[in-house]
Amino acid sequence: SAQAFQPSQAPLLVFTSGAMGSGSSKVILSSDVASIFEPGEKCITSAAFDEYATAEEFFDMLLAWFKDVKSPVDGSAPKALQVIDEDPGKEFTTVASWDGDTCRKAAYIYTIPNLPKTGDYITKKKVVYDKASLTVSDINSAGGTEEQKHLMTATGRILKNPARFEWFAKDQDGVRHSDAKAAKDLQRTIDDVFARLEKPKAAAGGA
């Protein structure tokens, strides 16, 4: 059964990413763990995932996932999606348009940040990445066609030996998030990325 999208988590990742929880996560996340990169700070960390992918394979698939924007509510595609300001090897921005009337109806159940009173809902995600250091940041904003409001900046770093990663987010007030709520949202993303990594291997194996 599909996991219910919890309204309490919505402000962190709503309409910014396309992950649906599978219920049987291969790679489990832990929240509020001491950061390896930033002593004294907390982050979300993953279990080692060498048996499923290398650090580089995970990094490449995460970037592909960022470009394939889906609704976190039901996995549906936006009505329009553009990838703009692409600087290969450095950054790109996704701009997704969602039907405004559908979003306003959904807002009775879900928290949809900065939803305009009329017109379509636009979400933007600028992804800045560096494969040499296996780091990726995504800067998220949302609103109408005229006015966008910054929601969250998330940063992920992939480590090797064993392959695993650290992640944290800062909201529009600069408050750092690495708690269980954030981890639950991120778990859906991670499940989706590993499901995508599995598909080519299944095809190669004649499955």
pLDDT digits 0-9 by tens, 113-136: 999 999 999 999 999 999 999 999
pLDDT digits 0-9 by tens, 32-82: 999 998 899 999 999 999 999 999 999 999 999 999 998 877 788 999 999
Show the beta-strand stretches assigned E in 78-193: 80-87, 91-98, 121-130, 135-143, 148-159, 164-171, 176-177
Which of 128-142, 157-171, 182-196 is predicted with the least confidence, judged by mean pLDDT?
182-196
Closest CA to 51 of 23, 27, 29: 27
Q: Which pTM was predicted?
A: 0.83
Q: How far apart are CA 122 and CA 8, in angstroms?
A: 21
Closest CA to 172 of 154, 156, 185: 154
